[in-house]
A and B are shown apart, each in its own frame.
Chain A
């Protein structure tokens, strides 16, 4: 039995080694971060200032109409959204529509929850005078322009001179979130 006596310690050593390696592997698997998704989102790179065509919602004959407009590509959605609204205000029809013609764009901000903030100011501090319908259409021209072009912008809020106000022309409540309305769009 001397051969058998020699084999037993070797087997015990092998068993301890296997257990140690197993424990090490188990510990490393627990400690490692969860596996990341195998499919990474596609990253598309554009050259800045490259032309880009967007769809404006322009007040025409008392309803909103889709008008294509070129803007300059920007590095982020917030800057692109500002470009889009600037194009609406610069549009020969949209920019001369009631309410919009009395306002200028101070800024557009986007928060992490998908709310776009449109900060407006009256042109030369003049009063915004409009009917209920004109005020409604002007507000949704801005709301639809943002939410139709940027899926990250799920709702829109309005500020005037950086602050919340009750209305622009005395009719439509501005202390709420706006989402796009297709019933105001010309079919």
Chain B
């Protein structure tokens, strides 16, 4: 008997009426992996090349879940995402002799694991519910959590590059300075950075980390040439932002196979339009933006943030310590007065 307890032999999902014998013999090709952290569970989405049977196995000790092809090889062309949200510790590709598997290491707050399939494009979805044990983040403190997001990062995305340096380094430097300022003067605040080193993160990774951390406020830092600073908030006009509030309440009610949750992702910012506007105006005034009004723009990095959220774009020629102090002052004042 194998060590592993087969939790879910799954859905030898003849995924489609179209999943024919040929596709099952070809095995499973995973071409992209994404994750989303929600208040009650973490979702990992494996985008697959074509429908094929798969197996999900939970280990005896319950600390890991393994995804493999039911018949034929598992080939993975995707990069595994960096997940660490209290529910999932890592997602890794394991290669044992000729057999590849994807292993999801679970963290302290992980509970039941569910899996299902979505079509068009074909995806295998793992939902890891938060267990009885509360997530370390939630357990540790009742302080209000600020999430700072140093823009860009990693080998391929340096942001803009000028004689004054790379945007990815500058945003990290300013985020660290804001964090120091906030913690020095505000014992009631906790501060998380979406990245603490030169690391590539997608916009969804950043939003997922902020939402999982329970952020009350999110500031994404970017840079521009010149010496001015601009503050941006999401343009509430046109489109996907309308459906959010009702959808948030039914997050756990949706059926496997319908795509409500995927549609809701990306519209969380809708219920924070006023709060983001208040925060944006406060920062715009303090940073000396003409007119004291933040710029409204369809910002891809903010639409999935479930908290007051702004982008602050700092001029490369600006005094960085002054910007850090000013942003920290604005954040602290906003949290004190508006919350």
Contact = CB atoms under 8 A, between A and B. Distances in A.
B297 A130 contact: no
Interface stretch (A6-14, A18-26, A28-36, A172-180): A172-180
A147 B134 CA distance: 53
Given A133-B224, A133-B230, A133-B313, A170 B152 contact: yes
Contact of B238 (A127, A133, A177): A177
A140 to B, nearest CB: 10
B298 interface: yes
Main secondary structure of the interface of A (DSSP, over half): loop
B337 to A, nearest CB: 27
A131 B297 contact: no
Contacts of A133: 224, 230, 295, 313
Given A129-B161, A131-B313, A132-B313, A166 B222 contact: no
A129 B299 contact: no
A167 interface: yes
A172 B295 CA distance: 13
B298 A170 contact: no
B222 A171 contact: yes
Contacts of A172: 297-300
Interface in A145-186: 166-167, 170-174, 176-179
B232 interface: yes
Interface in B22-69: none
Interface of B: 151-152, 156-161, 203, 222-225, 230, 232, 238-240, 295, 297-301, 303, 311, 313
21 contacts: A130-B160, A131-B223, A131-B313, A132-B222, A132-B230, A132-B299, A132-B313, A133-B313, A134-B224, A166-B203, A167-B203, A167-B300, A170-B151, A170-B157, A171-B299, A172-B297, A173-B298, A174-B300, A176-B239, A177-B239, A179-B238
